[in-house]
Structure 1
């Protein structure tokens, strides 16, 4: 199992801004020696998870991911469900909309629709969203299983900006407030000058499995825009939940019933 874990760790370093990596750089990033790194790469290449660019001799992700992505989407559709919701959410709010799913201890992007405005938030689809520093992460922590919150605290709360929550007690308090309100707001917690608002979507047990969110430049955020985003996010979160055969948590339904009544 340790060998498998070490081999799979190499895959984590490939991103849209770093699609190809040489052997020496991969070994350095992973903290392995070059001989071990080469052995892991050869094994991954044997199953088409990694391929080597014949021109540069650098390594990149292989075609096997396309096959497994299609199998996953055909049997447990997520991108198919959220794509039209993100289109509508971005069109209604004029801002960047995105959805993420919790898997293997992290929130990963499953869809992004960027705003058409010149001044807009750009999201890297390969970027992992930290649970404690983003609106999506906080929304998931508030309505998801307990283990991810404890794991986030145990791993340490990295500061991405001066506004990031880095204290365990503060994080627990923020998560409790999100559960009470039914939505999360991160004001420059992950990136300076960016405000995110998010709500969770749920599986068939009423447990959050991800989040749908809107990100806007902080300079454009206003009370009117916040109300508009929340109204459209609520519709999108419920539609995403229904689309994957889920049911909203009672606490989520109650929070939004109280918010509308207020």
Structure 2
């Protein structure tokens, strides 16, 4: 029974932003399981509102119950009520977009964002899932993880998201070490081309990295001279957030 539950939970993980819909047979083939088993799982999830089936295509996608659960998690983390004002103040000060990335396994998930008021800006959707090895917001979390966890992530392979993604294992390890020593990360076009990111980690009360806060925007607005200014503004916001997070985590 536990094996069946494990398979069912893995099935849900195939519904991503890049692949939001699946047919029964194509999902069964992807998961290397029988069509009958996949169908039963899909029907069960649909009955409980976690999935819904499109009437025309007969394909399945995530249901509104998932959105409900997401709202519950956001409430528990006190993101909107407590952390959002800090992010808004940082956006007003820097003129750039600010986003909060929460650690989830070997990925980062954007759980809150304050968009820049400028006409040209970096935009990211809440709920976006990104690998820890790409971009400042993710690498600044990964840099503080135990080395055995880092190596386990590397063993899964590094898939470049842009030509600027560090896809060489040794180069990435060196970069993570540099980030850890500095206490912040800076990237240019690693996950999305033509954008910059300046990020710092957020730790829980035990000192474990749980999230990151990032200033991001088009790279033409960021010069090497402006980076220290961004880092200083970010550090002050992180200090405020740390006091909050360490009380609720």
Give the 3-state SS of the residue equivalent to 1:41 in structure 2: helix
Q: Is the 8 A contact 2:133 2:139 kept in 1?
A: yes
Q: Is the 8 A contact 1:139 1:211 kept in 2?
A: yes
Quote the Cα distance in structure 2 between the aligned partners of 1:132 and 1:238.
25
Give 2:103's aligned residue: 102
Deviation of the 1:100 alpha carbon: 0.8
Q: Is the 8 A contact 2:204 2:245 kept in 1?
A: yes
Q: Is the 8 A contact 1:78 1:244 kept in 2?
A: no
Quote the Cα distance in structure 2 between the aligned partners of 1:42 and 1:126.
25
Q: Is the 8 A contact 1:16 1:124 kept in 2?
A: no
Please, what TM-score do these two structures have when normalized by structure 2?
A: 0.86
- Per mean C-alpha deviation after superposition, the further-off stretch among 174-183 and 238-247 is 238-247
Deviation of the 1:232 alpha carbon: 1.8
Which structure 2 residue ranges, 5 or more long, are not aligned? Answer: none
Give 1:161's aligned residue: 162
Deviation of the 1:199 alpha carbon: 0.2
Q: Does 1:173 align with 2:179?
A: no
Figure out how many residues of one structure are paired with residues of the other and give that number.
Answer: 247
* Residues 169, 228 of structure 1: alpha-carbon distance in 2 compared, 3 angstrom cutoff: same
Give the 3-state SS of the residue equivalent to 1:211 in structure 2: strand
- Per mean C-alpha deviation after superposition, the further-off stretch among 164-173 and 45-54 is 45-54
Instruction: Please provide the CA RMSD for this pair.
Output: 2.6
Give 2:198's aligned residue: 197
Which structure 1 residue ranges, 5 or more long, are not aligned? Answer: 248-262
Deviation of the 1:222 alpha carbon: 1.1
- Per mean C-alpha deviation after superposition, the further-off stretch among 170-179 and 59-68 is 59-68
Please, what TM-score do these two structures have when normalized by structure 1?
A: 0.82
Give 2:128's aligned residue: 127
Q: How does 1:220-235 map onto structure 2 within 5 Å?
A: 220-235=221-236
Q: Is the 8 A contact 1:23 1:34 kept in 2?
A: yes
